[in-house]
Structures are given as C-alpha cells and as structure tokens.
C-alpha cells in the first residue's frame, strides 16, 4: 500500500494528464472508492465514478478488479488492519486493540452502516456486496488469527481461550458499539484482551 497516497491533498506537484500504470494508479482507485462510499454512499460506487475520481481508464480498472466492490474491499482492508500487523516485534494486544478501534471507526461511518443495512435486507440490487463483504471479513479474520497463532507458537504470549473467540469478542465489541452508537473506550478493549492474553517475558 502506498503510504503517500495523500487522500486530503493529492497534488503537491502540478497535475499531469492521466496517471502511470503503476502503484499510484492502483492506490488512486482504491482511495477514490473509499471516498465515494464515505461521502456519497454505497449506491454511488460505480466503476465509472471510481475512474473519473482517480483519473484512470476503465481498462486500467478492469486489469485489477472485476467490479467496484472488489476495489472498495481493498480500501477497507488497508483501512482496518494496523500496519503493525506485519511487525513481528509488535505487541499482540496492541495490534488487536488497534484493529478493534479501526473496525469500530469503520463501522461507525454512515456509508458502512448503509452497506450493512443493505446486506441485512438482502439487497438484491447489488449481490456483489454480499459476496465481497463476507470474503473480506473472512480474509481479515484469518490474518488476525494467524498473527495470534504465530505469537503463541513463538512463545511470546499465552492465550487462555480459543483464538477464534478472541477475534469474535473484539469484532463483536466494535460491531455492538458502532450499531448502538455507543462509545468504545480503547481502555475497555485493552482490559478485555488483558484478561485473555498474557505476554511471556522472554528476559525472565
């Protein structure tokens, strides 16, 4: 993921016609999908709208994805999982707290609530939405589970409950707080995890 994608200010240099067939174009489309859903709602998300906002061609889009939701899904993924996921020295609880807070912020977006509402109503207008929503949820879940499993295997932590239940708890806390429009204090999430996950002090 290109860190310098610059959602808020995308042009420090003067704009050029078109964009290179590069990571920049890729990230521009992912960012555009995210912005469209956040600002105008999921129904506004079309391949045409994404390409127009990103300044890319439809050919460039279809080289990477087969529909608009696949592209949006990628923005969700980079939005939800904290960068520390890939840092083997990062603290497991810190990673899980960050992932929970990201998930909560994402679910609190009006665009996400509308999307979830449509999924619940079995929105037949956009069946892609259902398939993609399940797929990306499962993929993120698998990544979190892998990280917990790796840290247990490496002798860095002890987890006193099934790893899947840990992920269900933090997903549920984020979902419940967002849907009920309640606050989700980070310290509460950390307190819950600290009752289930115990770091092993390698220096002891």
In the complex, the smallest distance separating the C-beta of residue 163 from a copy of itself, rounded to whole angstroms, is 12
Residue nearer to a copy of itself on the CB measure, 29 or 196: 196
In the complex, the smallest distance separating the C-beta of residue 30 from a copy of itself, rounded to whole angstroms, is 24
In the complex, the smallest distance separating the C-beta of residue 180 from a copy of itself, rounded to whole angstroms, is 7
Total residues interacting with a copy of itself, rule: CB under 8 A: 31
| β-bridge partners, 134 | none
CA dist list (Å): 199 to 15, 41, 84: 49, 42, 17
Site for a copy of itself in 119-178 (CB under 8 A): 119-121, 134, 137, 160-162, 165, 168-169, 171-177
Residue of 4, 16, 180, 204 interacting with a copy of itself (CB under 8 A): 180
162, 188, 187, 189: which is closest to 100 by C-alpha? 189
CA dist., res. 103 & res. 108, Å (int): 8
76, 11, 67: which is closest to 38 by C-alpha? 76
CA dist., res. 55 & res. 11, Å (int): 13
In the complex, the smallest distance separating the C-beta of residue 118 from a copy of itself, rounded to whole angstroms, is 7
CA dist., res. 47 & res. 61, Å (int): 7
Residue nearer to a copy of itself on the CB measure, 53 or 109: 109
Site string for a copy of itself, 86-125 (x = CB under 8 A): ---------------------------xx-xxxxxx----
- CB crowding 79-103: b at 16 or more within 10 Å, else e: ebbbebbeeeebbbbebbbbbbbbb
Contact residues: a copy of itself, CB under 8 A: 113-114, 116-121, 134, 137, 160-162, 165, 168-169, 171-177, 179-180, 182, 188, 191-192, 195-196
């Amino acid at each position: 993921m290109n860190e310098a994608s610059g959602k808020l200010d995308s042009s420090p240099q003067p704009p050029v016609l078109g964009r290179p067939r590069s990571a920049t174009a890729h990230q521009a489309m992912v960012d555009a999908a995210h912005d469209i859903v956040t600002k105008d709602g999921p129904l506004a998300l079309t391949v045409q709208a994404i390409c127009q906002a990103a300044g890319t061609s439809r050919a460039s889009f279809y080289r990477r994805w087969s529909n608009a939701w696949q592209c949006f899904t990628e923005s969700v993924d980079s939005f939800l999982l904290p960068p520390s996921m890939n840092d083997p020295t990062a603290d497991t609880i810190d990673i899980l707290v960050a992932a929970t807070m990201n998930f909560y912020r994402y679910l609190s977006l009006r665009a996400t609530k509308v999307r979830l509402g449509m999924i619940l109503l079995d929105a037949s207008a956009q069946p892609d939405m259902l398939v993609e929503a399940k797929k990306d949820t499962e993929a993120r879940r698998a990544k979190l589970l892998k990280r917990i499993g790796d840290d247990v295997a490496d002798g860095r932590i002890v987890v006193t409950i099934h790893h899947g239940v840990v992920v269900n708890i933090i997903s549920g806390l984020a979902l419940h707080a967002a849907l009920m429009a309640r606050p989700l204090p980070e310290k509460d999430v950390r307190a819950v995890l600290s009752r289930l996950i115990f770091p092993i002090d390698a220096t002891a």
